[in-house]
């Protein structure tokens, strides 16, 4: 089980990497927000970004999970899932999609994988 504090630390570290997108999906909508760099923890909600500007509110509880993925055709991501396993949001690391060589940055992809994809970092990303 991943604690709320572990998830918050990992999300904050991911936002500091820069060049990230927060992707929130529902059955009828997709929102993709670029450039969120701050994280503020409230009593019930966590805010990514600044109030009064573009931001996302997430409800992160103990029992939520955060896992690293690297699809063959897509950017590396951290996926935040809720208590029932439903996907809440993704943090996508732009420039890590090998299928798009015009945008791919191998050094960045290696840094992201080292920080978020290594089993030694499992406590912060699983």
Q: Flag whether 101 is in a domain.
A: yes
Q: Flag whether 32 is in a domain.
A: yes
Contact 30, 7 (CB under 8 A): no
Q: Flag whether 102 is in a domain.
A: yes
What is the reported pTM? 0.87
The model's confidence at residue 118, banded by pLDDT at 50, 70 and 90, is: low
Residue-by-residue DSSP string for 56-96: EEE---BTBEEEEE--TTS-EEEEEE-TTS-EEEEEEETT-
Q: Flag whether 97 is in a domain.
A: yes
Q: Flag whether 75 is in a domain.
A: yes
CATH number, domain of 61, equals: 3.40.1570.20
Q: Flag whether 31 is in a domain.
A: yes
CA dist., res. 48 & res. 75, Å (int):
20
- How many structural domains compose the chain? 1
pLDDT tens profile 68-103: 999 999 999 999 999 999 999 999 999 999 999 999
Q: Flag whether 126 is in a domain.
A: no
The residue with tokens 């997108």 is 21
Q: Flag whether 78 is in a domain.
A: yes
Q: Which residues contact 105 (CB under 8 A, 6 or more apart)?
A: 95, 96
pLDDT tens profile 20-75: 999 998 889 999 999 888 999 998 999 999 989 999 999 998 889 999 999 999 99
Which domain does 46 fall in, by range?
Answer: 4-121
């Amino acid at each position: 089980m991943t604690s709320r504090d572990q998830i918050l630390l990992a999300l904050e570290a991911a936002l500091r990497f820069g060049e990230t997108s927060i992707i929130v999906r529902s059955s009828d909508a997709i929102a993709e927000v670029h450039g969120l760099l701050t994280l503020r923890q409230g009593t019930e909600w966590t805010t990514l970004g600044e109030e009064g500007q573009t931001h996302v509110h997430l409800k992160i509880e103990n029992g939520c999970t955060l896992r690293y993925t690297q699809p063959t055709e897509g950017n590396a991501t951290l996926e935040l899932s809720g208590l029932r396993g439903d996907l809440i949001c993704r943090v996508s690391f732009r420039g890590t999609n090998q299928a798009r060589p015009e945008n791919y940055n191998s050094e960045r992809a290696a840094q992201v994988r080292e920080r978020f994809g290594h089993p030694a970092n499992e406590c912060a990303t699983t």
